[in-house]
């Protein structure tokens, strides 16, 4: 929790109509531990508690008609301003919406490096555009699909940020080495037993040669990223060894099942399936 002698804390506020949803989600697992250790704090503000009418109304009809309701402006604005006062000065207000900029590992890192932020979870058809202009610094989307509310998205952002803070993960290296840490997808992982349902752990991982293991993992990360997320690979600077590893990976993938794997034999992707050979299409 100490970072260069200073204590790092991340203060998060969530404005939501479903406080119990967010409060429950952040209590478990890695985020729960970060909360217990005081590395992260999560405050919650419910616009309903700022509604002024007897029915505690938090929705309102859209100008121009059409189906659906919007979040009522005034209780929402008051909730945001109340929560914002609890945050360090300069903390951004982030509105979770499908219209937002994609939330990425790089953005998670930036937010985790800051002092705090406010997450506004929308409901209904959304919020009045003027409220966004007035009080929101950035709209964030967690993916190209529409959720029925921003709470799940808010929990995603909290999780992705909290686990990056010093002292949260039991193994700090996990956050550096895993998917996206280096702009690549993660390599495959294996645990006991050595053979499970006729599939054997790749020989290189059982061999105990750390350099070979590192080479194999790098090759798997490169190969998987090329296959599954070529868009990510375009943004990674590959050195000569990377290019060679990728070439070997592709050659082994293209080879018919059971064929020798060329220069990468014993370390190539064909090892991924152990003793049981399968075609790439399996």
Q: Which residues bind ligand ADE (CB under 6 A)?
A: 96-98, 122, 141-143, 145-147, 150, 153
In 10 A of CB 237, how many CB atoms? 6
Q: How far apart are CA 106 and CA 180, in angstroms?
A: 9
CA distance 114 to 161: 10
State the minimum distance, in angstroms, from the CB of residue 97 to ligand ADE: 5
Choose between 42 and 142: whose C-beta lies nearer to ligand ADE: 142
Residues facing 6 on adjacent strands: 3
The Cα–Cα gap between 168 and 170 comes to 6
* Closest to ligand ADE by CB, 38 or 143: 143
Min. distance of Cβ 44 from ligand ADE in angstroms? 17
Cα 54 from chain centre: 40
Minimal distance, residue 86 CB to ligand ADE, in Å:
23
Of 53 and 144, CB closest to ligand ADE:
144
* Minimum distance from residue 150 beta carbon to ligand ADE (Å): 5
- For residues 97 and 267, which CB has a smaller minimum distance to ligand ADE in the complex? 97
Using CA atoms, how far apart are residues 153 and 156, in angstroms rounded to an integer? 5
Determine the 3-state secondary structure of 115 from DSSP.
coil
């Amino acid at each position: 929790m100490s970072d260069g002698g200073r204590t790092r804390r991340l203060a998060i506020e969530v404005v939501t109509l479903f406080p119990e949803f967010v409060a429950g989600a952040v209590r478990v697992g890695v985020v729960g531990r970060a909360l217990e250790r005081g590395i992260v704090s999560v405050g919650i503000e419910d616009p309903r508690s700022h509604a002024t009418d007897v029915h505690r109304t938090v929705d309102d009809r859209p100008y121009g008609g059409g189906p659906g309701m919007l979040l009522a402006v005034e209780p929402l604005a008051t909730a945001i301003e109340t929560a914002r006062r609890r945050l360090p000065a300069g903390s951004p207000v982030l509105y979770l919406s499908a219209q937002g900029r994609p939330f990425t590992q790089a953005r998670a890192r930036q937010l985790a490096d800051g002092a705090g932020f406010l997450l506004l979870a929308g409901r209904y058809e959304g919020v009045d555009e003027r409220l966004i202009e007035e009080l929101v610094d950035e709209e964030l989307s967690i993916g190209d699909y529409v959720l029925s509310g921003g709470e799940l998205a808010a929990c995603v952002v909290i999780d992705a940020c909290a686990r990056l803070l010093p002292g949260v993960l039991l193994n700090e290296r996990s956050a550096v080495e895993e998917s996206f840490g280096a702009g690549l997808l993660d390599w495959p992982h294996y645990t006991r037993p050595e053979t499970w349902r006729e599939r054997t752990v790749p020989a290189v991982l059982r061999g105990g040669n750390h350099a070979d293991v590192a080479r194999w993992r790098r090759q798997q990360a490169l190969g998987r990223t090329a296959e599954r997320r070529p868009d990510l690979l375009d943004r990674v600077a590959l050195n000569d060894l990377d290019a060679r590893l990728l070439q070997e990976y592709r050659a082994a993938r293209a080879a018919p099942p059971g064929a020798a794997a060329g220069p990468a034999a014993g370390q190539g992707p064909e090892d991924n399936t152990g003793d049981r050979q399968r075609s790439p299409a399996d």
